[in-house]
A and B are shown apart, each in its own frame.
Chain A
Amino acid sequence: MPNMDPKKCPMPAQEPQVRAHNFDEVTLGYTPEMAVNEAKRCLNCPTHPCTGGCPVAIKIPQFIKHVAEGDFEEAHQVIAQDSALPAVCGRVCPQESQCEKYCVRGIKGEPVGIGRLERFVADWHRAHSAEKAKAAPHNGHRVAVVGSGPSGLTCAGDLARMGYSVTIFEALHVAGGVLMYGIPEFRLPKAIVQKEIDGLREMGVDVRTNMVVGRVESVDELFEQGYEAVFIGTGAGLPSFMKIPGENFKGVYSANEFLTRVNLMKAYREDADTPVQHARRVAVVGGGNVAMDAARCALRLGAEEVSIVYRRSREEMPARIEEVEHAEEEGVQFHLLVAPLEILGDEHKNVTGMRCQRMELGAPDEKGRRRPVPIPGDEYTMDVDCVVIAIGTTPNPLIRSTTKGLDTQKWGGIIADDDGLTSRQGVYAGGDAVTGAATVILAMGAGKKAATAIDKYIRSK
């Protein structure tokens, strides 16, 4: 009998007032009983629209059926056929706009907690399976992957499973890309990411850190070295700023810098060698997941007041609903329909405030999103000593400027077709380097498609 509770089994979590002061994971995950109960809410409907909503097409009803039967390892095997990083995706995917959006149970009540179940299965497997990833028999072909974020890891994993000898080139000193430097520990514990990377190594993937492709080897030199295809997954790139006065004052961070200091360099720890400002009052500009992450990190670093400043209204916020809710529960304030005009500073250029403009929603733009327009004369000043700017990024010029014949968009993104093929034979690309800042799962989907295309390309040579 299916469980007809209209609501999802609630996710156990640290109390907001407790977790706002530590970097431990916010949500604690389902117990096996909770997972079985929630899995029983799935009707196993014949059309399974959820799978169509998943960028990597996980066989969702099939894995959930195994969970309902208490066969968690079997459930993991089903997910593993399509996703290389379930422990990551179960935590950071925007399920409400993907799989769960199409769930039949969502018509009258809440959809099945697919993301929570995926996380449970991945965590269960990690805790209970001692089985090491095996290297597939080598097929004699070599592929280079540039960047070790979600698209690169997925592409490398899929190719390694097919028997390719894969080398990942990572610019930073640790692999994982945004999963390591961007998404905070309390949302995605780094040990989980590390485990996924260790798994790739066990499969024979060579992960070379401290290698900046374009500065050491160029893409062309990788081909000369015998790699038959190259996948570029170099990520979102340089942070954008607002071009308003005061943006270079001390206490103004890009979200990338703020999060990198905190997450990658562990600046939140007492004994860290890398500093970060422990601000009193922080304004975070932007409405996406990155903005929420930065705001919640600022809170955990001890700020008395943290505000999100976003120029549109709540409905237009691109962040996952859960992140917005969590931020709000923890005490993050929301200044909606507000745009910064100027960052104010003292004689030593330390931030002392931010002058803001109130906005209202005007006529829809070409995408149908109502455009925010200033309300004349309606300005106010926020008392802040730190501003974090989380309004997006522009692609890093390094690869495109050192790779001849690689076509890019006007805004700098690499042009690639649905399979990830670029204008250069044998060169594939995916993730934020192609789409601009997007999600982990879309990057994984792109890495997966590219791996299939690369396999086809090399076999047809």
Chain B
Amino acid sequence: MYTILKKQELNPTVTRMVIEAPEIAAKAKPGQFILLIVREGGERIPLTIADHDRKAGTVTIIFQIVGATTRLLNAMNEGESLYAFVGPMGKPTAIEGLRKVAVVGGGVGCAIAYPVAKELHEQGCVVHSIVGFRTKDLVILEDEFAACSDKVAAMSDDGTYGTKGLVTDALRNLIESGEKYDEVIAIGPLIMMKFVCKLTKEYGIKTVISMNPIMIDGTGMCGCCRLTVGGETKFACVDGPDFDGHQVDFDETMERARQYKDFERARDEHVCNLLKGAN
């Protein structure tokens, strides 16, 4: 169960894994997520489903090494099994009836934006993908986005890939040049989603964002993933993970995401040393 069938380094900090999980593969839809535990006693973390193959019974995850658990996950090899893998959780991204959409992905968020872009493309929707990375070495899914997009705007912070600048610059240019979108779907770092929403609010374009907050059970029991949307408390695990970006209190969400920073840093150092010792 939950065997890693394929492992591939997309860039030095981002890895793709194909996991054997037939029950989840049979039901997964773009926008949904899984929760996993690497080894017994480990932390439960949510990861959005990057792809699935119903026939093969597999689910693909793409993750960035950001802390102890993702570091441990990255240390797992093909043929090894994860301790727990559960899903598909959350509501699928609502894409029915959309005719023209700008899909904005930032960094590893592109891994989550891609299946949405692909699904939109398959239902005949015009897709403009705006992807942003810090630098060229961190670029992922370039060919995949090209294959499912009518237009791709590639951005990087340092100008080593595509155009130098932020995804919001590219989005503003597209809107200003007369592109009319039914919706913008933005997935990436909280700060990026916040500024995409600020921009689209100016133009009155509906914007959907995907949240990936800290979770424990992820099944609607603990309330850890709560956020304020339109002045109300919502749970990302059962009410989301997609929300109307213009209603989300990003500042609160960003603070909540930092709640265990010190613990996480110490834990990561500890795991890092352990893994070094093992090699």
Contact = CB atoms under 8 A, between A and B. Distances in A.
Interface in B56-70: 68-69
What 6 pairs across the A-B complex have the smallest Cβ distances? Answer: A257-B222, A173-B84, A254-B223, A275-B263, A210-B86, A273-B43
Interface in B229-279: 233, 235, 238, 252, 255-256, 258-260, 263-264, 267
B222 A215 contact: no
A348 B255 CA distance: 7
A390 B92 CA distance: 31
Contacts of A237: 220-221
A275 B255 contact: no
A397 B237 CA distance: 12
Given A210-B86, A265-B216, A248 B42 contact: no
Say whether chain A's binding surface is mostly helix, strand, loop, or mixed: loop
A241 B227 contact: no
Interface string A134-159: 00000000000000000000000000
B37 interface: yes
Contacts, number: 108
Nearest to A394: B220
B203 interface: no
B228 A248 contact: yes
A280 interface: no
Contacts of B223: 238-239, 241, 254, 256-257
B88 A215 contact: yes
A248 B252 contact: yes
Contact of A266 (B41, B216, B224): B41
Interface residues of A, number: 39
Interface in A341-386: 348-349
Contact of B85 (A210, A256, A273): A210
Interface in B26-75: 26-27, 37, 41-44, 68-69
Nearest to B21: A210
B217 A181 contact: yes
B220 A248 contact: no
B24 interface: yes
Nearest to B221: A256
Given A216-B23, A216-B24, A265-B43, A260 B87 contact: no
A239 to B, nearest CB: 4
Nearest to B27: A216
